[in-house]
Amino acid sequence: MKDHHVRPLGDEKRHYWLALGMAQASGADLQRALQEGRITHGDWAEVVTRCRGCAWTEGCDCWLSGQDCGAPASVPQACPNAAFFEAVLSVADQTDEPPASS
Protein backbone atom coordinates (compact mmCIF):
# COMPACT_ATOMS: atom_id res chain seq x y z
CA MET A 1 0.00 0.00 0.00
CA LYS A 2 1.33 3.44 -0.90
CA ASP A 3 2.00 5.95 1.87
CA HIS A 4 0.22 9.17 0.85
CA HIS A 5 1.16 11.25 3.89
CA VAL A 6 2.85 14.56 3.17
CA ARG A 7 6.24 14.77 4.83
CA PRO A 8 9.20 17.07 4.54
CA LEU A 9 11.73 16.07 1.92
CA GLY A 10 14.90 14.44 3.20
CA ASP A 11 18.43 15.74 2.82
CA GLU A 12 19.44 16.07 -0.86
CA LYS A 13 22.95 14.67 -0.44
CA ARG A 14 21.85 11.68 1.60
CA HIS A 15 19.13 10.77 -0.88
CA TYR A 16 21.41 11.35 -3.87
CA TRP A 17 23.74 8.69 -2.43
CA LEU A 18 20.86 6.37 -1.50
CA ALA A 19 19.42 6.59 -5.02
CA LEU A 20 22.84 6.08 -6.58
CA GLY A 21 23.44 3.10 -4.30
CA MET A 22 20.10 1.59 -5.26
CA ALA A 23 20.87 2.07 -8.97
CA GLN A 24 24.29 0.45 -8.56
CA ALA A 25 22.87 -2.44 -6.52
CA SER A 26 20.37 -3.13 -9.31
CA GLY A 27 23.00 -2.88 -12.03
CA ALA A 28 21.35 0.19 -13.62
CA ASP A 29 24.19 2.19 -15.19
CA LEU A 30 22.85 5.73 -14.94
CA GLN A 31 26.01 7.35 -16.29
CA ARG A 32 25.81 5.25 -19.44
CA ALA A 33 22.08 5.96 -19.75
CA LEU A 34 22.82 9.71 -19.50
CA GLN A 35 25.61 9.51 -22.07
CA GLU A 36 23.41 7.57 -24.48
CA GLY A 37 20.53 10.01 -24.04
CA ARG A 38 18.19 7.38 -22.59
CA ILE A 39 17.67 9.52 -19.49
CA THR A 40 18.14 13.21 -18.85
CA HIS A 41 19.58 15.16 -15.95
CA GLY A 42 15.97 16.09 -15.20
CA ASP A 43 15.08 12.38 -14.94
CA TRP A 44 17.93 11.91 -12.45
CA ALA A 45 16.76 14.95 -10.45
CA GLU A 46 13.26 13.40 -10.29
CA VAL A 47 14.77 10.15 -8.99
CA VAL A 48 16.49 12.01 -6.16
CA THR A 49 13.34 14.00 -5.38
CA ARG A 50 11.21 10.83 -5.23
CA CYS A 51 13.84 9.32 -2.94
CA ARG A 52 13.78 12.41 -0.71
CA GLY A 53 10.03 11.95 -0.20
CA CYS A 54 10.23 8.23 0.52
CA ALA A 55 9.09 6.86 3.90
CA TRP A 56 11.28 3.74 3.51
CA THR A 57 14.67 5.47 4.03
CA GLU A 58 15.78 3.34 7.00
CA GLY A 59 14.71 0.17 5.18
CA CYS A 60 16.66 1.34 2.15
CA ASP A 61 19.81 1.86 4.23
CA CYS A 62 19.41 -1.60 5.71
CA TRP A 63 18.71 -3.26 2.34
CA LEU A 64 21.66 -1.56 0.67
CA SER A 65 24.05 -2.57 3.46
CA GLY A 66 23.06 -6.21 2.95
CA GLN A 67 23.75 -6.32 -0.78
CA ASP A 68 26.64 -8.31 -2.24
CA CYS A 69 28.98 -6.01 -4.13
CA GLY A 70 28.94 -6.80 -7.83
CA ALA A 71 25.88 -9.05 -7.85
CA PRO A 72 22.88 -7.16 -9.32
CA ALA A 73 19.74 -7.37 -7.20
CA SER A 74 16.09 -6.61 -7.81
CA VAL A 75 15.16 -3.25 -6.30
CA PRO A 76 12.55 -3.71 -3.56
CA GLN A 77 9.09 -2.55 -4.61
CA ALA A 78 9.07 -0.29 -1.53
CA CYS A 79 11.52 1.93 -3.45
CA PRO A 80 9.65 4.69 -5.31
CA ASN A 81 12.27 4.45 -8.07
CA ALA A 82 12.07 0.68 -8.62
CA ALA A 83 10.23 1.02 -11.95
CA PHE A 84 12.69 3.68 -13.15
CA PHE A 85 15.74 1.49 -12.42
CA GLU A 86 14.03 -1.51 -14.03
CA ALA A 87 13.30 0.57 -17.15
CA VAL A 88 16.95 1.70 -17.38
CA LEU A 89 18.02 -1.94 -17.09
CA SER A 90 15.55 -3.23 -19.68
CA VAL A 91 16.59 -0.64 -22.27
CA ALA A 92 20.27 -1.38 -21.58
CA ASP A 93 19.60 -5.10 -22.06
CA GLN A 94 18.00 -4.39 -25.44
CA THR A 95 20.92 -2.25 -26.61
CA ASP A 96 23.48 -4.87 -25.50
CA GLU A 97 21.91 -7.65 -27.55
CA PRO A 98 23.79 -8.53 -30.73
CA PRO A 99 21.87 -7.90 -33.94
CA ALA A 100 19.84 -10.87 -35.16
CA SER A 101 21.53 -12.75 -37.98
CA SER A 102 19.59 -13.41 -41.17
Confidence at residue 99, expressed as pLDDT on a 0 to 100 scale: 45
**Around 34, how many Cα atoms within 13 Å sit in the side-chain half-sphere?**
9
**Does the pLDDT of residue 96 top 60, yes or no?**
no
Residue 26 to residues 10, 53, 82, 90, 99: CA-CA distances in angstroms? Answer: 22, 20, 9, 11, 25
3-state secondary structure of 13: helix
What's this model's pTM, rounded to 2 decimal places?
A: 0.80
Confidence at residue 92, expressed as pLDDT on a 0 to 100 scale: 66
Closest CA to 53 of 24, 86, 81: 81
